[in-house]
Amino acid sequence: MAKRIGLIVNPIAGMGGSVGLKGTDGKMYPKAVELGAEPVTAARAKAFLSHLKLKDKSAFSVAPGGMGEDIARDAGIKFTVVSSLSGRKTSADDTRRIGREMSNKVDLLVFVGGDGTARDVYDAVGLKIPVIGVPSGVKMFGAVFAVNAIAAAEIVDAFIEGNAAISEKEVMDINEEAYREGRLESKLYGYLMVPEVAGLVQSGKEATTYSESSHENQEAIARYIIEGMLADTLYLLGAGSTTTAIAEGLKVRKTLLGVDAIHNNRVVAENLNEKGILELLKHHNKVKIIISPIGGNGFIFGRGNQEFSPAVLKLIEKDDIIVVATRDKINRAASLRVDTNDARIDKKLKGFMRVVTHYNEEVVVEVV
């Protein structure tokens, strides 16, 4: 018997990333549009659908309009539309209402969005049916997402063939207001049942733990990086406590969860978005990015730092990306990951990269 697959797309998820808004919850969507943000979920949903190998063995139920129907039609799959939209603009209420209706009609629900969409799906279906997320938000710190859209397709194929184990995974509640102010406040929101295929479902973000040894490790990394900094070179510091330690070593201010620019040991721009970075790149020939992976899942690009967009990364050589991580963090990461929503950029970044883990200490880690 054919498996019944549901699809719900959040059309506005992820739009706040490149423009530096950290998300599109609440009133941030109009602000994102004002800043020139472009929709990103349709491309992710199309990538997911185009890589499904067993779609002919499935019966698809999709949300109406831009929440699934339009994308499914463009992808050329057969589908049934579930429910209707409550207005011209979609909302979290639509996701929850349609999710509840689908929970009685499908064997697996696929959603395209971020942590906010995952919370809405949890509110709708709880542990009633399995769910997998196609990552298309800004943060995606929960453990209910595939590592990318193609992996999501492989997970669904495995589910259709009966080759995916089901386990409960964490849905995280991230306070976006605090996040925009440079504070990461997260708590467990609930659990969803997720089909698991080894290496294809991301781990949730680990809570950052501070100890004397980790602080000393970060300071040692900072000293090593600072001693190697080149004159007349623009350094773009990504988010994180380790990059903050570098700024502290330079005695300059750092946006904890944003991107700042340093040139000749002074801050020249703070909390940059994609547009701001691209403008700076017009005026600097020598540029390096300093980035730290997310603890738990190893992402260096594509989770929480979409300011480093494909347009930006296209202009940066791989050798000019400096990855920093404490020994403890890198020892818990089997690999590093990228998910930029641009296959060419992902391919450029994959392979092996050096990671600075202490003073004059580096390890080589594969980027997958």
Helical pair 149-160 and 41-50, crossing angle rounded to 10 deg: 40
Q: Look at the chain and count its residues.
A: 368
Residue 240: name the closest of 267, 220, 265, 222 by CA.
222
Take residue 124 and report the two structure tokens written for it: 């709708």
Contact of 83 with 64, CB cutoff 8 Å:
yes
Contact of 99 with 63, CB cutoff 8 Å:
no
User: Residue 287: in which H helix or E strand, if any?
Assistant: strand 287-291
Residue 367: name the closest of 328, 324, 340, 334 by CA.
334
Sketch the domain layout of the chain as residue ranges: 3-196, 212-367
Please state the separation of Cα 291 from the chain's center in Å: 15
The pLDDT score that the predictor gives to residue 351 is 96
Number of neighbouring beta carbons within 10 Å of residue 228: 10
Sign, Cα dihedral of 280, 284, 289, 290 = negative
Contact of 86 with 108, CB cutoff 8 Å:
no
Tell me, yes or no, if the two domains 3-196 and 212-367 fold the same way: yes
The pLDDT score that the predictor gives to residue 301 is 96
Q: Which residue is listed with tokens 């196609």?
A: 134
Tell me the residue type at 214: S
The pLDDT score that the predictor gives to residue 181 is 56
Mean pLDDT by 10 residues, the chain (368 residues): 92 69 59 65 94 89 96 94 83 94 96 94 97 89 93 97 95 71 74 94 71 88 98 96 96 91 97 95 97 90 92 97 95 91 95 97 96
Options 3.30.700, 2.60.40, 3.30.70, 3.40.50; CATH for 212-367 is: 3.40.50
pTM, full prediction: 0.85
The pLDDT score that the predictor gives to residue 139 is 73
User: Residue 121: in which H helix or E strand, if any?
Assistant: helix 115-125
Residue 22: name the closest of 252, 170, 184 by CA.
184
The pLDDT score that the predictor gives to residue 35 is 66
The pLDDT score that the predictor gives to residue 334 is 83
> Domain 3-196 carries which CATH code?
3.40.50
Tell me the residue type at 157: D
> Strand 58-62 and strand 79-81: pairing?
parallel
